Amino acid sequence: MGLSDRLLAAWYQGHPALTLLRPLETLYKGVALGRRRAFLEGRKPGWKAPVPVIVVGNITIGGTGKTPTILWLIEHCRRAGLRVGVISRGYGARPPRFPWLVNAQDGASVAGDEPLLLVRRSGVPLAIDPDRAQAARALLAAHPLDLILCDDGLQHYRLARDLELVLIDATRGLGNGRCLPAGPLREPPQRLAAVDAVLCNGQSGDTALGYGMTLAPVALVNLVSGERVGLDHFPAGQALHAVAGIGNPQRFFSTLQGLNWRPTEHAFADHALYSEAQLAFEPPLPLVMTEKDAVKCQAFAGPDWWYLAVDAQPSPAFVAWFDARLAQLMAGAPPATGSP
């Protein structure tokens, strides 16, 4: 178990040694709160896009289901007739320059795994840049858009936002409730009171904490052929290798177990890059991975390698709330015109 894995376990399961990190936590909280206050009070300049910006983020370290949520928002807003674009930091990306407009033919090393997944799945216009405001300007210059979704970026206050949606893993919650490095929080729990909506991934119903949302497995997709098959492709009890390089690999493994398969679990670090040798597991069995991992493995995939496609399913109450807020946003924002 690496250092990051040990820290995650301590944050979410508890460990007395974390008390030694509380002085550093106090320092971190002071910096985080001061930075946010500087933007709110106008002492640091922000940039306001000419179209509404919806930030989808979290206050915790580790996976919470942002990417499936972004995909749901893309399709939902498109059904409302809106032209949608996405901006992202592009974690791990090394494009020739920033900002970079991601193309479906890019490699994950160029575009980053999550941006590439979003573009390949939905065809959405997407720009990456650690400076989200710069990414938004580049995207608007290239495409006529009505709305921008910011993948992560809750703490990137230089970009003004019209709506903040926060994802929480319903099983792990806020861990020990403490900020880095004594806990998994990027900002104190009180930050949730200031956001527009909280979605609890893995929670079927709405609660006082937030709206319910689940991730539903919908199909298996072959990495080599692109063939899409139903979940009955493997019978109950099927033994297979399972690969997950995401913020919370156990959530993926539990999903496979819930489908009555018998996965041999292979957890990797979030955003891990793979080689063929790393995934040459014994005994030879079908291999199932996340879609985020698949975009990094297609070049050397075997014929029985698959990714599990999942769809976000937010609660009806969230959908109704979001539709009402979206209508308000669009009523006050004329569409921007991109360059030809």
Q: Which stretches of the chain score pLDDT less than 70?
A: 1-3, 333-340
Strand partners, 215: 312
Tens digit of pLDDT for each residue in 19-51?
999 999 999 999 999 999 999 999 998 999 999
The class of domain 3-212+315-331 in CATH terms is alpha beta
Look-up: residue for tokens 């919470």? 64
**Residue among 223, 176, 229 nearest 8 (CA):** 176
* Nearest-angstrom CA–CA distance, 136 and 159: 9
| Segments making up each domain of the chain, as ranges | 3-212+315-331, 215-313
Closest by CA to 215, choosing from 70, 284, 126, 314, is: 314
pLDDT of residue 340: 24
- Express each pLDDT in 246-260 by its tens digit: 988 999 999 999 999
* CA 19 to centroid of chain Cα atoms: 30
Angle between helix 316-331 and helix 66-79 axes, rounded to 10 deg: 60
Model pLDDT, residue 337: 40
Q: What is the DSSP string of 139-153?
A: HHHHS--SEEEEES-
* pLDDT on residue 13: 87
Residues sharing a CB contact under 8 Å with residue 79, sequence separation 6 or more, in sequence order: none
The CA angle 250-179-209, to the nearest 5 degrees, is: 65
Name 132's Cβ contacts closer than 8 Å, sequence gap at least 6: 87, 89, 150, 153, 156, 158, 159
pLDDT at 2: 52
